[in-house]
Chains A and B, each alone.
Chain A
Amino acid sequence: MDYSEELEKILNRYKENIEDDLKVRWNNWEKDLSIPEKFEVIGGLMSRQVSIALNFMTCSSIWNGHIAPIIMRSLVDNYINFAWIMEEPVERARKFIYFGLGQEKLQLEHRKNEMKNHEPNEQEKLMIEATESWINQQRFTFLTEVSLKNWSELSVRQMAEQADCIDLYNYVYQPFSCAAHNMWNHIAKYNLVESDNPLHKFFRKPAIYKFPPDIYYLELTAKYVDKMFRLFDKKTNYEPTKEYSFETFTNELYELEKKIYEEMQKQKEETTENK
């Protein structure tokens, strides 16, 4: 039996649901344009979480240990930033913006420096102008400082501690970081294969393991989106008018799994009877 169509329907429903979740939260949130940074940063981070999830869910070829941990790490990183900002939204949202503008200015200076050795073409000039104007619109480049530290001036671990999500850091962010940073404990397991030849002293050679798509990563993705929405709801006193999309999604996945299991059991019984 092929259940891919049913899975696709569940995924599509979930995707529509989280799009609505974002819309309804933004639209119902009372804005204060005297502190736009708070709303833009929080809204932007939520949109980022949803857009990563939506894109990840459309691409089953990356639901595996090679790529999915990179995406999961990004989702968790985004959540920790979000949770830390939510503790003091105005001040921290500004910090987040100013750091980003500083980084953009740094990149701009690198590009300008690169162009010192040749006459920039029209496209390069336009790019420089557009970047400069993008920064100036928010803060004059001549007033923009460049930070050489983390944007929050804290380690991610400290941010997670302060935002009451240290478990997420220890058990999720850290392990997924090994994949994102291509560290030995990921590479050795996923990109090398050990020789079983006694002549090779357990030597390893490069390998690319083929993994089937793993639904578990979908559940994780939905979980990290859900964490963000729940924290937003708590901090802004938003009361959802419907069940959380994560609940619906996991219930539907469970029903599908049950169906597949029952089908397999039935087939097994039939085979036994035939024998």
Chain B
Amino acid sequence: MANDKSKILSDHKQVGKKLLPPFLHSFPGQFNESPYLYKVLPEIIWQGFLNDKYGIKESVEITLYLLNTIREATNLEKGKFFCFISNFETLDEKQIDKILSRLFLNGNYKKLTEAIQPFITVFPECPLKKILYNAIPEYSENDLQYVKNVMNKLLNKTGKETTLILANTIYCANQMGILHVTKDSCFLHMDEVVNYPDTEESKKIASFLRASINPFVVNDTFVFQNSDWSKYFWNRAYKLEPFNIDNLYFS
């Protein structure tokens, strides 16, 4: 039998005592990892609650209404994109007042607050609280359970629910003039994403969405990088139900 074994990792480049994969040696220092769970999910999780309550179509309308209102009220530069929660930390009181005065009594705003209410009660220090009129009540067991259910679906970065909130975000980025796409981009068939993962086209779109979100979340132009939100989000979540040792043994 012919021996087909070849040298392993032959595409890697040896630098000193390390074998670097092609990606790292071709783009040294240029490729930043953006861990989905730490960098992406906390920024866009709130849309999971919108999608869960109203479905993707209505959620996009509500989100765009919010984004346009913030832009009109604040005249902030084009880059800051308020689909990302951390950016709400950058809003000062005057800007918040302006935003709230525009949102008040609007149907979309009412829907938004109803959808994210359980989430905000569980994470009361969430920067999104700035756009809520009312004081945040204590969370109930039902709130916590609901938040856990939604989070559970969003933990999988290739899951359907995750793909849908990524679709919301990227679609809104395009609508707000933050993301430009070429005429041959699969983005133009975005509607197909609702069929994910059952069609080839939807899988292509999902890959496009996952690849497109990373440059946003690591860039201060789009997301406020000095925010404590992500850290607070995960530590608060842990404190609610710590992963303590009761029994050391597992089979």
Contacts and interface: CB of A to CB of B under 8 A. Distances in A.
Interface of A: 19, 22-23, 26-27, 31-34, 47, 50, 106, 109-110, 112-114, 116-117, 139-149, 153
Given A26-B245, A114-B5, A117-B5, 16 more contacts: A22-B248, A23-B248, A27-B242, A27-B245, A32-B231, A32-B235, A33-B237, A106-B9, A143-B31, A145-B12, A145-B18, A145-B21, A145-B24, A146-B9, A147-B17, A148-B17
A142 B238 contact: no
Given A145-B20, A146-B19, A148-B18, A139 B33 contact: yes
A31 B242 contact: yes
A114 B4 CA distance: 9
Interface string B1-22: 1011110110010100111111
A12 to B, nearest CB: 15
A142 B244 CA distance: 34
B23 A142 contact: yes
10 contacts: A31-B242, A32-B231, A33-B231, A33-B235, A33-B237, A34-B230, A112-B8, A117-B4, A142-B22, A148-B18
Contacts of B54: none
B84 to A, nearest CB: 17
Contacts of B146: none
Interface residues of B, number: 31
A113 B4 CA distance: 8
B38 interface: yes
Given A33-B234, A145-B21, A147-B18, A26 B244 contact: yes
Contacts of B20: 145
Contacts of A148: 14, 17-19
A76 to B, nearest CB: 23
Nearest to A27: B244
A52 to B, nearest CB: 14
B139 to A, nearest CB: 19
B33 A143 contact: yes
Nearest to A110: B8
Interface string B170-202: 000000000000000000000000000000000
Contacts of B24: 143, 145
Contacts of A26: 244-245
The 7 closest A-B pairs by CB, nearest first: A33-B234, A109-B8, A149-B17, A34-B231, A146-B19, A23-B245, A27-B244
Given A27-B242, A34-B235, A142 B18 contact: no
Q: Which of B8, B22, B31 has the most CB of A within 10 A?
A: B8
A47 B12 CA distance: 35
Contacts of B6: 113, 116
B5 A113 contact: yes
Contacts of A143: 21, 23-24, 31, 33
A109 B12 CA distance: 12
Nearest to B13: A145
A151 to B, nearest CB: 12
Contacts of B237: 33
B151 to A, nearest CB: 13
Contacts of A113: 5-6, 8
Contact of A146 (B5, B18, B31, B234): B18
A141 B11 CA distance: 13
A114 B18 CA distance: 23
A34 B248 contact: no
Contacts of A47: 248
Contact of A117 (B3, B19, B21, B31): B3
Nearest to A34: B231
Contacts of A144: 21
Contacts of B235: 31-34
Contacts of B31: 143
A34 B234 contact: yes
Contact of B248 (A19, A114, A140): A19
B12 A146 contact: yes
A148 B5 CA distance: 21
Nearest to A146: B19
B117 to A, nearest CB: 24
A53 to B, nearest CB: 12
B180 to A, nearest CB: 27
Nearest to A23: B245
Q: Which of A33, A34, A50, A141 has the most CB of B within 10 A?
A: A33
Contacts of A149: 17-18
A193 B246 CA distance: 50
Interface string B105-144: 0000000000000000000000000000000000000000
A116 B8 CA distance: 11
A44 B10 CA distance: 33
A147 B24 CA distance: 14
A149 B242 CA distance: 37
